[in-house]
Amino acid sequence: MADLINLTIDGIPVAVPRGMVIVDAAKKIDNDIPVFCYHPKLKPVGMCRMCLVDVGTPKIDPATKQVVRTEDGKPVIAWMPKLQTACTTPVSEGMAVRTNTKQVLDARNNVLEFLLTSHPLDCPICDKGGECPLQNLTLAHGPGLSRFEYEAKQHNAKHVPLGDLIFLDRERCIQCSRCIRFQDDVADDHVLQFHDRGRHMEIVTFSDPPFDSYFGGNTTDICPVGALTTADFRFKARPWELDSTPSVCTHCPVGCNISLNTRLETRTGGHEIKRVMPRQNEQVNEIWTCDKGRFVHHFTRAEDRLTHPLVRDARGKLVESTWEAALQLVADKARGARVSGVIGDRIANEDAHLFGSLFSDVLKDGAVAMSPAIPAAYADIARAYGVGKDTDFKQLGKGDTILVVNGDLEESAPVWFLRLRQAVVDRGAKLVIAHDRSSKMHRYASRIVTYELGMAAHWASEQTTELSAELKSARNVLIVFGDEKLSAEGARSLARSLANILIESGHAGKANSGLLPLYPHANTQGVFDMLPATTVTTGKVDVAWLVGVGNAADVPQADFTVVQELFLTDIANNADVVLPALSFAERDGSFTSGDRRVQRFYRALPGLGQGKPDWWIIQEVAKRLGATWQYHGTSEVFAQMAQHNPYYAGLSYETLSQAEPQWPPVGRADLYYGGTAYDNSGGIGSRYAAPAEQSGFNSSLEPVVAPPVDMEALQHLPHTLYQDGELIRRSKVLSGHVRAQRKEAETA
């Protein structure tokens, strides 16, 4: 990394890596060169001409090939005759850049005057108004008046649906092609292009279905004008009315950092999420999020949210009750009884820790398990041989091998798909895929293995020696795996074989190497980490206690069933007591992502009705059973947990809330640079070390025998992003996609 280039920008010396363009070099010293088409995450094209600067290089004497110097020894600068685009000009040794000459300032003014010739200037009704690069840069650099005829303005269609999620306003578009380049270079869904040329150039989609991409929402963040807006947010609120709360997406193991934008609604008299925006975390989601994460939020204010405790009355009907009565009833039933607890893998660490403690410390006769059960069968292996603590996907490239086994990255962990795809396509990592069917990731694989349905574990156990030999020479080995079509035993066997491959090829317990499990939700690892190892009770128990359980197969048979839920699901509808919980947006807590990054999320909305956070409910029952717990908030629960859970030792809410400066900088005043993704407030979280990284851990091979193919597991549907479920069902904008994927699954 010693290869630094020295240059001066407005006389200020700066040293940056070779290959960096002038815009980025200037950004390093907080010189904000205005741009529209340039984006630090996309390849430069130099289309908008907004970034014109004066560039010179040291004058070379043609005879001596030496730098010409003035009398006082300073190099003479040969200024280029015309202004250069700072976004496409790489820095060079001794370069001088001027960004504040009259010529440069005039150029900015003139480019803006041109861009505005046919811009509708409908800022008062534009969703981007208030956070619009064109608006801001016009104010900073543009002319107050136009010399062009108002009557000659070109008018174009203003409400063009590019798909069911994204709308295009053709007359606002300034043809920067950021959206096209994002779809081409980052998402690899080539569904947007220019059509025609010159004054008639416009953005089109001709794909079927149109603008079909899991990542389309990101184009609205990087659009420097109000041309692209989401079906969900358009005309819903003005950006300056919104409050922003840092949060973490709950829908897949990536744990994308998000900001919840909320507003007080006079109509409903309460706060609502108006939109979900990516929050920068270069270690996790950079500045992206998938469309599910962006649009699924409507469940938080769905009309059918539970708002009161419900208790089954003498006639067998669930009727509204008080917290006191409901909690007392649960405590009375649980006291001295055989209790089987099940907790879903969306539930926060703090709730899971207290639920686990309830079974280990308070209840005399009980067992606790995670739902879904299959990941619980291998989460210990995924943890032990998980990616090293200092793993950074951006470091993966040439010399590294990414092995994807039995999972579809784009469907199960969309943002990991984006990032690992770039490791392969842009930086040259080798990709090997083994699966029973094709996926989008297959496009980039240098080797593909296809096995029969349900044979993942067999394949891995048979190939261990061969693969280990092949991977020995790789610099790093990242193994992504899923549990599709496998029983719990099969999934464990697969994970164990893959761990063996890491050990045998010499990559266990290292940074940028390890297992990366495609868990179903955001906190599968966290909930597993929180629960004590208990023997699962079989047969009928006295009390079943379910916290956020969505899978009916995981519900134990019981005389009395308690459910903590957001909705009156089928499971809740069959319970004897239903306790209204709060969603992630209405409380604080933490999640542990699939790559073991522990991250905090914060309360963005007031609780709905009488709903309470799950940890509070558990504590209240525990108190009634004699526990002396006195937690006032999740921070105290986390602190207590970190004292006893070795993996989380040293972590606290303070450490998790630390944010570091990120590159490229986004979300500041210069929205034109990175787009409207939020900068990181609330913390970038912290990954705990994988046991295999720690001294004293015995990384030894374990022989694996793959269990027979499980006929029932073969019936499991492969995971798809818009798979129908209690939460996604309540998002109207996504309902078309949910229906389409349900239909696809039924016909498959």
Partner 1 sequence: MTLKDKRSADIEIILSKYPTKRSAVMPLLYLAQEEYGYCSDEAIREVADLTALDPTEVKSVVGFYTMFFEEKTGQYVIEVCDDLPCALKGADAFVHHCERKLGVRAGQTTPDGKFTLRTVMCIAACDRAPVAQVNREYRYSLTPDGFDKMVDELKGTV
Q: For the CB of residue 685, give the shortest distance to partner 1 in the complex, in Å.
A: 36
- Among residues 185 and 380, whose Cβ is nearest to partner 1? 185
Q: For the CB of residue 420, give the shortest distance to partner 1 in the complex, in Å.
A: 22
**Buried (b) or exposed (e) across 228-253, using 16+ Cβ within 10 A?**
bbbbbbbebbebeebebbbbbbbbbb
**Using the rule CB under 8 A, is 52 a contact of partner 1?**
no
Provide the Cα torsion 61, 65, 67, 73; round to 10°. Answer: -90
User: In which element (H, E) is residue 411 found?
Assistant: helix 409-412
d(CA 125, CA 144): 20
**Using the rule CB under 8 A, is 208 a contact of partner 1?**
yes
Binding segment toward partner 1, per CB under 8 A, in 132-140, 202-210, 421-429, 460-468: 202-210
| Nearest residue to 481 via CA among 516, 522, 450, 509 | 516
Q: Applying CB under 8 A, which of residues 63, 64, 102, 206 lies at the interface with partner 1? A: 206
- Among residues 146 and 193, whose Cβ is nearest to partner 1? 193
d(CA 476, CA 367): 40
- Among residues 184 and 636, whose Cβ is nearest to partner 1? 184
Q: For the CB of residue 205, give the shortest distance to partner 1 in the complex, in Å.
A: 5
Q: For the CB of residue 242, give the shortest distance to partner 1 in the complex, in Å.
A: 33
- Among residues 202 and 351, whose Cβ is nearest to partner 1? 202
The tokens of 132 are what? 């619009």
Binding segment toward partner 1, per CB under 8 A, in 49-57, 199-207, 282-290, 586-594: 199-207
DSSP-derived letter for residue 690 is P
d(CA 506, CA 452): 29
- Neighbouring residues of 136: CB distance < 8 A, sequence distance ≥ 6: 669, 671, 672
- Among residues 131 and 202, whose Cβ is nearest to partner 1? 202
Q: For the CB of residue 189, give the shortest distance to partner 1 in the complex, in Å.
A: 8
- Among residues 52 and 441, whose Cβ is nearest to partner 1? 441
**CA 189 to chain CA mean position, Å:** 18
* DSSP conformation letters of 454-478: T-HHHHHHHHHHHHHHHHTT-S-EE
DSSP 3-state percent helix, strand, coil across the chain (nearest 5): 30, 20, 45
Q: Using CB under 8 A as the criterion, what x/- string covers residues 143-182 for binding partner 1?
A: ----------------------------------------
d(CA 249, CA 291): 11
Binding segment toward partner 1, per CB under 8 A, in 194-202, 245-253, 642-650, 701-709: 194-202
Provide the Cα torsion 72, 77, 78, 79; round to 10°. Answer: -140
| Tokens 């300032």, located at residue | 105
The tokens of 44 are what? 């430069």
Q: 479 with 498: CB under 8 angstroms? A: yes
Question: Residue 48, Cβ neighbours under 10 Å: how many?
Answer: 23
**Using the rule CB under 8 A, is 193 a contact of partner 1?**
yes
**Using the rule CB under 8 A, is 197 a contact of partner 1?**
yes
The angle subtended at Cα 343 by Cα 566 and Cα 552, nearest 5°, is 75
- Among residues 192 and 480, whose Cβ is nearest to partner 1? 192
**Using the rule CB under 8 A, is 43 a contact of partner 1?**
no
* DSSP conformation letters of 579-618: EEB--GGGS-EEEE-TT-EEEEE---SPPPTT-B-HHHHH
The tokens of 523 are what? 């906190």
- Neighbouring residues of 527: CB distance < 8 A, sequence distance ≥ 6: 343, 344, 345, 347, 349, 352, 370
**Using the rule CB under 8 A, is 65 a contact of partner 1?**
no
Q: For the CB of residue 61, give the shortest distance to partner 1 in the complex, in Å.
A: 44
Q: Applying CB under 8 A, which of residues 88, 110, 146, 207 lies at the interface with partner 1? A: 207
- Among residues 206 and 240, whose Cβ is nearest to partner 1? 206
Q: 556 with 294: CB under 8 angstroms? A: no
Q: For the CB of residue 176, give the shortest distance to partner 1 in the complex, in Å.
A: 16
**Using the rule CB under 8 A, is 394 a contact of partner 1?**
no
The tokens of 531 are what? 């629960």
Binding segment toward partner 1, per CB under 8 A, in 206-214, 354-362, 432-440, 587-595: 206-214
- Among residues 195 and 644, whose Cβ is nearest to partner 1? 195
Binding segment toward partner 1, per CB under 8 A, in 187-195, 420-428, 532-540, 681-689: 187-195
Binding segment toward partner 1, per CB under 8 A, in 7-15, 124-132, 203-211, 649-657: 203-211
d(CA 561, CA 290): 36
Binding segment toward partner 1, per CB under 8 A, in 135-143, 189-197, 225-233, 504-512: 189-197
- Among residues 191 and 656, whose Cβ is nearest to partner 1? 191
Q: Applying CB under 8 A, which of residues 18, 69, 190, 472 lies at the interface with partner 1? A: 190
- Among residues 139 and 201, whose Cβ is nearest to partner 1? 201
Binding segment toward partner 1, per CB under 8 A, in 136-144, 190-198, 466-474, 481-489: 190-198
Q: 137 with 38: CB under 8 angstroms? A: no
User: In which element (H, E) is residue 420 found?
Assistant: helix 414-425
The tokens of 683 are what? 């913390």
**Using the rule CB under 8 A, is 191 a contact of partner 1?**
yes
Q: For the CB of residue 202, give the shortest distance to partner 1 in the complex, in Å.
A: 9
| Nearest residue to 293 via CA among 131, 416, 109 | 416
**Using the rule CB under 8 A, is 199 a contact of partner 1?**
no
Q: Applying CB under 8 A, which of residues 43, 159, 195, 472 lies at the interface with partner 1? A: 195
Binding segment toward partner 1, per CB under 8 A, in 183-191, 468-476, 492-500, 633-641: 183-191
**Using the rule CB under 8 A, is 192 a contact of partner 1?**
yes
- Among residues 196 and 712, whose Cβ is nearest to partner 1? 196
- Among residues 187 and 727, whose Cβ is nearest to partner 1? 187
Q: Applying CB under 8 A, which of residues 3, 196, 303, 712 lies at the interface with partner 1? A: 196
- Neighbouring residues of 233: CB distance < 8 A, sequence distance ≥ 6: 127, 274, 275
- Among residues 206 and 235, whose Cβ is nearest to partner 1? 206
- Among residues 129 and 210, whose Cβ is nearest to partner 1? 210
Q: Applying CB under 8 A, which of residues 118, 138, 205, 487 lies at the interface with partner 1? A: 205
- Among residues 163 and 682, whose Cβ is nearest to partner 1? 163
User: What does DSSP say about strands 243-248 and 257-265: parallel, antiparallel, or unpaired?
Assistant: antiparallel
d(CA 728, CA 335): 37
Q: For the CB of residue 299, give the shortest distance to partner 1 in the complex, in Å.
A: 33
**Using the rule CB under 8 A, is 732 a contact of partner 1?**
no
Binding segment toward partner 1, per CB under 8 A, in 200-208, 232-240, 486-494, 705-713: 200-208
**Using the rule CB under 8 A, is 645 a contact of partner 1?**
no
Q: How many residues bind partner 1 (CB under 8 A)?
A: 14
64 by Cβ neighbours in 10 Å (0-12 / 13-18 / 19+) ranks as: exposed
- Among residues 196 and 746, whose Cβ is nearest to partner 1? 196
Q: Applying CB under 8 A, which of residues 79, 148, 194, 663 lies at the interface with partner 1? A: 194
Q: For the CB of residue 156, give the shortest distance to partner 1 in the complex, in Å.
A: 15
Q: Is 134 helix (H, G, I), strand (E, B) or coil?
A: helix
d(CA 206, CA 191): 7
- Among residues 209 and 606, whose Cβ is nearest to partner 1? 209
Binding region for partner 1 (CB under 8 A): 189-197, 204-208
